[in-house]
Structure 1
């Protein structure tokens, strides 16, 4: 793998942080949701954002 520039690392960190915030918000929305279909959708989206965050983290390691 090629070496990342400082700007690329900063962008990755920004994207990783954004995905983390999305995960927290979606999980919070899911916890307060009473509709089981919507709750499942929110939880699935939170899981997808978490997986994307982990993928992005792998570029830093």
Structure 2
């Protein structure tokens, strides 16, 4: 794996933070959903954002 510059590291941390926030919000939205189809889609988006966090974390070492 290539070494990250300070700017790249800061950007990566920022993106990870945004994805974590998305997971939290999407999980809250899914709890509020009454429509089962919409709830399923929102949960899918939350899982995707969580997967993104895990993949991005690998760049931090």
TM-score by length of 1: 0.97
- Count of residues paired in the alignment: 61
- TM-score, normalised via structure 2 length: 0.97
State the 4+ residue runs in structure 1 displaced beyond 3 angstroms: none
> Which residue of structure 2 lines up, in the alignment, with residue 13 of structure 1?
13
List gaps (5 residues or longer) in structure 2. Answer: none
| Deviation of the 1:2 alpha carbon | 1.4
CA distance in structure 1 between the partners assigned to 2:34 and 2:40 by the alignment: 10
Give the gaps of 5 or more residues in structure 1: none
